[in-house]
Amino acid sequence: MKCPICTHLCQYFDDLSSRVGYYHCHRCALIFKSPEHYQDFDAQKKRYDLHQNDEEDAGYRAYFGRFLDFVLPRVPGVRNALDYGCGATSLLASMLEEEGVACDSYDPIYHPDPAYREKRYDLIVSVEVFEHLHHPEEVFSELLEGLRPGGYLAIQTQFHPDSESQFLKWYYRLDPTHIFFFRPETFHYLAERYGCRYIGDDGEKVVVIQKDRSRAET
């Protein structure tokens, strides 16, 4: 099977215990589940509804705080933002607003207002979303179109261990709604393909990319 990000021919491997198959791209480092194991929208919603994310919980706030501590120093001058795939809460949007950044929220399940498509943002954040997407490159492209020239895209998703044997021991793949698994190399490839500047990553799960300042708005 070809990689859905870079079209390179992938190597197949599987988990014999669960009979779940995976494909590993050795060009852009993407790993993804065999398509027969993708879950539909209703199945994903049932899984998300089990999440107990309390906006008053100090640990939940600290979780987003660590994300913002990495991102905000690398995105100077942002005035408005979109939290794409925000889930059931608006905590991250509220925390951005505390930093002086007006923030909209969108989630296909809990906040399905499509009005964000008519706007352009200085910053789009997407936390623990890309691993669930059936077509991550399409969403990456869509989010870039939602940025002003020079705007920033900040994505959080756990980077997989770049070893198939270690991957099979990795807790993050066990969530049945997790389909795609990334490395910094994957986002380097996407940034180069779309003419973006790769600002940096934290080596664990967060990456920041800047849209070309000369790229015209659509």
- CATH code at position 156: 3.40.50.150
Q: Give me the pLDDT at residue 46, please.
A: 74
Position 55 pLDDT exceeds 80: no
Position 56 pLDDT exceeds 80: no
The H-or-E segment that residue 18 falls in is none
3-state secondary structure (DSSP) of residue 115: helix
Domain that holds residue 62: 45-210
pLDDT digits (tens, 9 = 90+) for 83-139: 999 998 899 999 999 999 999 999 999 999 999 999 999 999 999 999 999 999 999
24 forms beta bridges with: 11, 31
Q: What is the mean pLDDT of residues 141-148?
A: 98
Q: Is 17 a member of any domain?
A: no
Q: Is 158 a member of any domain?
A: yes
Q: Is 67 a member of any domain?
A: yes
What residues contact 206, with CB distance under 8 A and at least 6 apart?
67, 70, 71, 154, 155, 156
Position 218 pLDDT exceeds 50: no
Q: Give me the pLDDT at residue 51, please.
A: 62
Q: Is 155 a member of any domain?
A: yes
Q: Is 33 a member of any domain?
A: no
pLDDT digits (tens, 9 = 90+) for 165-217: 999 999 999 999 999 999 999 999 999 999 999 999 999 999 999 999 875 54
Q: Is-contact 125 154, C-beta < 8 A?
A: yes
Q: Is 82 a member of any domain?
A: yes
Q: Give me the pLDDT at residue 88, please.
A: 87
Query: Both tokens of residue 114?
Result: 């499509």
Q: Give me the pLDDT at residue 115, please.
A: 93
Q: Is 215 a member of any domain?
A: no
Q: Is 102 a member of any domain?
A: yes
Nearest residue to 161 via CA among 175, 180, 182: 182
Q: What is the mean pLDDT of residues 1-9?
A: 97
* Tally of domains in the chain: 1
Q: Give me the pLDDT at residue 215, please.
A: 56
pTM of the model: 0.93
Q: Is-contact 183 156, C-beta < 8 A?
A: no
Distance CA 95, CA 105 (A): 12
